[in-house]
Structure 1
Amino acid sequence: MSSAAPTTAVPPDRLATVLGRRYRVAGTPVELGRGAWSVAYAFDAAPSDGATSGSALAEPGAGEPVRPLVARIGRHLDDFAKDAMAGGFWDQTLPVPAVLSVDEWAPGEYLAVSQRRSGVFLEELGGAGWNQVLDQVLTALDTLQRRDPATDLRRTPATAAGPGVALDVDAAAVGLGRSYPEYLLSVGDDPPAGRLAGWRDRLRHSPIGEHSLRTGIDRLRRGVAAVGGDIEVGWVHSDLINRNVLVDPGGGAPRLRAVFDWGCMFVGDRLYDLAWLEFWTPWTPGLASIDLRARAREHFARNGIQVSAFDERLRLCCLHIGLAHLAYNAFTGNVVNLRGSQDRLATYL
């Protein structure tokens, strides 16, 4: 299975023409970056409702205000469907950019347009910035956990969908319909139709082999049995440290600006996103001086949130993150990151 991002460069004029069917495009789209599953382009458009007529560009007039937007092209419609659903989560404490439209770009490829926000990425903050913004991040996660996933899945997103584009999120794919322990323990599965299909064989033939995977799954299984299955679950973003959270550093008082790219979201332990920050701390220098566990405990106590078996649950989350990234890095063939994930996983065994 190949990367889901387009394998060839997208001509900016072609993208502008396609975008012009819905938006009054100003200027030429500019590539922002490529991820594993999509490629993103920045463009500006004049405020308008619905599609513009025809396929010709209708540029804003002189002095007319424009709005910053981002277009993403990728092969996984389910990622864009999750983004569209998450756009309905917007709250003052959880700023999720809205997905305005999703259309077919080419056979098997899709074009999603969202609001574009500016700022610095969360992982780029120094220690002082992290110290100031961490409580905002924890509050955003509280807001996320208060949502009811079953209700969210039944709502129709306020996103314009092109012909043949269904923005339905598969409940089973996000962990509903089975218990959270079952979800955790499925981390070693390699279904033939999965996004990372074939990863176990690639891991088996990689320089590190399967020993860490087998050891980690055994430790995870014993930990799940010890903690038990009575864990309250809710939405988990599961990709916060990957250029998916923007912070406005304005005036020395950082403010959470946007949380986006919800393609990895699932229903799980409220501690999972906290564990995500902890697991990736060695790659996030600004977190080095922050005691994440102490800060989280203080936050929960201050807000009357009861969290049982805190350390044990956090460890299970970190084990799962490490194991999942053995799978991901084996699939992508990135040996450096594979070894890094193995080493970090070892600290939780």
Structure 2
Amino acid sequence: MSADAVDPQLELAKRLVRETFGVRATEPEPLAAGEWSQAYELTLDGAQVVVRVGKHGTDFAKDEVVAGLAAPDLPVPTVLARGEFEGWHYAVSARAHGIALDDLSGAEMAQLLPSLLTVLDEIGGVELVGTEGYGGWSPDGRAPYGTWAEALLAIGTETDRVPGWRAALARSEFGIEPVEAGLSALAALAPYLPDERRLIHGDLLNRNVLCADGGVSAVLDWGNALYGDSLYDAAWLIYWWPWYPEWAAVDIRSELSAHWTASGSAPVNLRERLHAYLLHIGLDAIAYCAFKGRWEDVRSNVDVVVALTSSSPR
């Protein structure tokens, strides 16, 4: 976009703030852009806040739910207001500060890791009283699947939010076969999956974790949050770790194992569960990247899923 071009999303945010909050707020400035929403910084009633604008209001509602449930050791910004404006959804949250986890050097990651693993424990320890089901949940605390395995295997079915990926993949050089083989391998691991229902963030990278002073300062964007086995968030880190070569000196599997041993919480059927979740994460990435037409990313994730499909849990 040229220097003179008008950013329609920024102009929308300016109108939203002006018409909703008036003189209580300063003019919003761009802060960050994600796949599903854009974030802007401003002050409201003298306090630093962030306003996010997107098409999916349920994401913001889930942020509000988790912020209300989280203990002090799980830093989730308070949602101050939500609403609709000109056909878009918005949320105003307390401003959190820090460096994105994705931007840490290897040395910084090594220093931060104990805090990050503690946050994983805190996420899994959130009380889910009054909720039901497995998989992606709605703000009313209900998830659509009767078992955790059923929720995972649903990755092979298209959703309204990510449509058309199966046909796109079938037309591509990769075909649909790697996905079907991955689903079969995942189904074979279903007997090892636990019945427990815990909170899962489901996207602990992509600039959704902020860090400051050697610890985690905020966990953002709970739109992908699930109910199920909290080991899934650990698998998420394992799966995506190789995409961050600067972290290569940190053995994330060994660090997780040491953390579980120290806390007396070594998971049963660990290898099988991790293998299942690595398969699911890869299948999810293939579906999303095919939907977006990001074919080099499809290639990378197909390679991982094929390798997982043809290997035993380790």
TM-score between the two structures when normalised by the length of structure 1: 0.80
Corresponding residue number in structure 1 for 2:73:
93
- Determine which of 184, 188, 207 is the counterpart of 1:218: 184
- Determine which of 211, 215, 220 is the counterpart of 1:260: 220
- 3-state secondary structure, aligned to 1:10: helix
Aligned residues of 1:24 and 1:45 also touching (Cα < 8 A): yes
Cα offset, 1:170, TM superposition: 5.5
Unmatched 5+ stretches in structure 1 = 1-6, 47-65, 154-166
- Determine which of 46, 53, 56 is the counterpart of 1:73: 53
- Determine which of 199, 217, 225 is the counterpart of 2:165: 199
Match of 1:292, as an amino acid? I
Structure number with higher helix proportion: 2
- 3-state secondary structure, aligned to 1:242: coil
Corresponding residue number in structure 1 for 2:210:
246
- Determine which of 117, 129, 136 is the counterpart of 2:96: 117
CA deviations on 1:192-224 (whole Å, 9 max, x unpaired) are: xx2112221122122322121111111111122
CA deviations on 1:102-150 (whole Å, 9 max, x unpaired) are: 011123x211111111111112111111112112111111112122324
Aligned residues of 2:162 and 2:288 also touching (Cα < 8 A): yes
Q: Distance in 2 between matches of 1:282 and 1:179?
A: 31
Cα offset, 1:303, TM superposition: 1.4
CA deviations on 1:282-323 (whole Å, 9 max, x unpaired) are: 222343112222211211121121410112111111100000
Q: Distance in 1 between matches of 2:120 and 2:17?
A: 36
CA deviations on 1:158-198 (whole Å, 9 max, x unpaired) are: xxxxxxxxx9435125xxx511011111110124xx21122
- Determine which of 244, 262, 265 is the counterpart of 1:302: 262
Corresponding residue number in structure 2 for 1:317:
277
Q: Distance in 2 between matches of 1:306 and 1:148?
A: 21
Cα offset, 1:264, TM superposition: 0.1
Mapping for residues 1-349 of structure 1, pairs under 5 Å: 8-11=8-11, 13-21=14-22, 24-26=24-26, 28-46=27-45, 66-107=46-87, 109-151=88-130, 168-169=139-140, 171-173=142-144, 177-191=145-159, 194-225=160-191, 227=192, 229-248=193-212, 250=213, 254-349=214-309
CA deviations on 1:10-54 (whole Å, 9 max, x unpaired) are: 315423303425x7113x2111232221111111122xxxxxxxx
Q: Distance in 1 between matches of 2:14 and 2:161?
A: 31
CA deviations on 1:227-253 (whole Å, 9 max, x unpaired) are: 2x43423110010111000001x3xxx
- 3-state secondary structure, aligned to 1:70: strand
Aligned residues of 1:238 and 1:266 also touching (Cα < 8 A): yes
Cα offset, 1:85, TM superposition: 0.4
Aligned residues of 2:70 and 2:126 also touching (Cα < 8 A): no
Unmatched 5+ stretches in structure 2 = 1-6, 133-137, 310-314
The structure-2 alpha-carbon separation of the partners of 1:42 and 1:19, relative to structure 1 and needing over 3 Å to count, comes to farther
The structure-2 alpha-carbon separation of the partners of 1:74 and 1:339, relative to structure 1 and needing over 3 Å to count, comes to same
Q: Distance in 1 between matches of 2:253 and 2:197?
A: 19
Q: Distance in 1 between matches of 2:181 and 2:8?
A: 40
Q: Distance in 2 between matches of 1:19 and 1:343?
A: 48
Match of 1:181, as an amino acid? A
Q: Distance in 2 between matches of 1:341 and 1:150?
A: 36
Q: Distance in 2 between matches of 1:231 and 1:284?
A: 32
Corresponding residue number in structure 2 for 1:55:
none
Q: Distance in 2 between matches of 1:297 and 1:19?
A: 49
Match of 1:305, as an amino acid? S
Match of 1:17, as an amino acid? R
Q: Distance in 2 between matches of 1:43 and 1:202?
A: 40
Q: Distance in 1 between matches of 2:111 and 2:42?
A: 31
Q: Distance in 1 between matches of 2:14 and 2:263?
A: 51
Match of 2:43, as an amino acid? D
TM-score between the two structures when normalised by the length of structure 2: 0.88
Corresponding residue number in structure 2 for 1:164:
none
